[in-house]
Amino acid sequence: MADPEPFGMLPDGRPVRLYRLRSESGVDVSACTYGATITSILAPGRDGTRAHVVLGFDTVTPYLSQTAYLGAVVGRYANRIARARFVLDGVTYQLKPNDGSNLLHGGARGFDKQLWDAEPFTRDRDQGVRFTRVSPAGEEGFPGALQVAIEYVLTAIGALQCSFTAETDNPTVVNLAQHAYFNLSGTATPILDHELTIAASRYTPIGVDMIPTGTIDPVAGTPFDFRTPRRIGDRIDDPHPQLRSGRGYDHNWVLERDTPAVDDGPMTYAATVRDGRSGRRLDVFTTEPGLQFYSGNFLDGSLLGHQGTYVRRAGLCLETQKFPDTPNHPAFPTAIVRPGQRYYARTTFAFSHD
């Protein structure tokens, strides 16, 4: 593993470092200390040609102003919390809204906007980097001081393992997710021709404000049925009220897991994405109960990155997570973490080609 490289500086003069992980399979992963952000993944196709398969930039500067959360770890609470507030143990906590009246991805100064400490390591034939920070009590309105660690491990066979752990000194809610935008074609063309499978028979519908209604509905007979491989563009513009609410896909699928994850616990198969032209394939496994599939509906061509101009739907996100707005829906799998408990989540992104 090479030494960390300079990746630019924050406006206050603090340096940002970049870590490059390399595998024997030809998959390379780069991540920086700003937002614990995955800035690049290079993966070979069926002809051996390597290409960038996540959206990203070559320096930290564009990350400072972009609002798409490209490649970042989002938290303290990934996705949305309605009206930016929740009740825990009888106490109402008012957070800092940053998405109208709601909270999105932890707030205006969430984990994606923080500078993390980092330490690289090797394990046998695998390479990794561990990012750590302490989120102080009251950050963006959340209770409890939270000690957080994120590990990225790139295995020799080209699988990226993302592990998240956290401990708190007071009851709080935690939901961490990796917000990479994938485009397996290696270009910035819309991902409509990508083939997607999601291992879920149910999803959580949303209202016009993108907040879950609280119901859990079947996908059968709807544009949300990806139980068998299907081209993403087949029904993305159907006149379905849920697609209109999200301007495309921006919904949580309910995976076949309803118990909290434990350290080194088993992972569930969640999804597969495949690009037919290049032959590249991504399989996703996770300990988490939900998968947010976001089809890049709000990308608008204002960002220029590795592959070119990031037009609408130039990338897709597969955010493994707790359900959106879980703190306000007692029937959803819990996101509460208490002193003495250890938050744990793990997701593997396995790259291959046919």
pTM above 0.95, yes or no: yes
Percent of residues, the chain, with pLDDT higher than 90: 95
Confidence of residue 2 (pLDDT cuts 50, 70, 90): low
Domains defined along the chain, listed by start: 5-353 (2.70.98.10)
Q: Reply yes or no on whether the pLDDT at 44 is more than 50.
A: yes
pLDDT in tens, 244-297: 999 999 999 999 864 455 555 679 999 999 999 999 999 999 999 999 999 999
Q: What is the DSSP letter of 13?
A: S
Q: How many CA atoms lie within 13 A of 195 on its CB side?
A: 12
- The catalytic site residues sit at 179, 319
Q: Tell me how long the chain is.
A: 354
Q: CA 62: distance to chain centroid? A: 19
Average pLDDT of the residues in 38-56? 98
Q: What is the DSSP letter of 350?
A: E
Average pLDDT of the residues in 185-196? 98
Average pLDDT of the residues in 129-140? 98
Q: What is the largest CA-CA distance in the chain?
A: 59
Two structure tokens written together for 240:
């379905």
Query: For position 265, what pLDDT does the model report?
Result: 64
Query: For position 256, what pLDDT does the model report?
Result: 81
Which helix (H) or strand (E) covers residue 305, if one does? Answer: strand 304-305
Q: Reply yes or no on whether the pLDDT at 87 is more than 60.
A: yes
pLDDT in tens, 92-120: 999 999 999 999 999 999 999 999 999 99
Percent of residues, the chain, with pLDDT higher than 70: 97
Residue matched to tokens 């963006």? 140
Query: For position 258, what pLDDT does the model report?
Result: 47
Query: For position 152, what pLDDT does the model report?
Result: 98
Q: CA 237: distance to chain centroid? A: 24
Query: For position 269, what pLDDT does the model report?
Result: 95
Two structure tokens written together for 4:
């960390």
Distance CA 121, CA 278 (A): 32
Mean pLDDT score across all residues of the chain: 96
**Distance linking the first and last C-alpha atoms of the chain:** 28
Residue matched to tokens 């990796």? 178
Query: For position 266, what pLDDT does the model report?
Result: 79
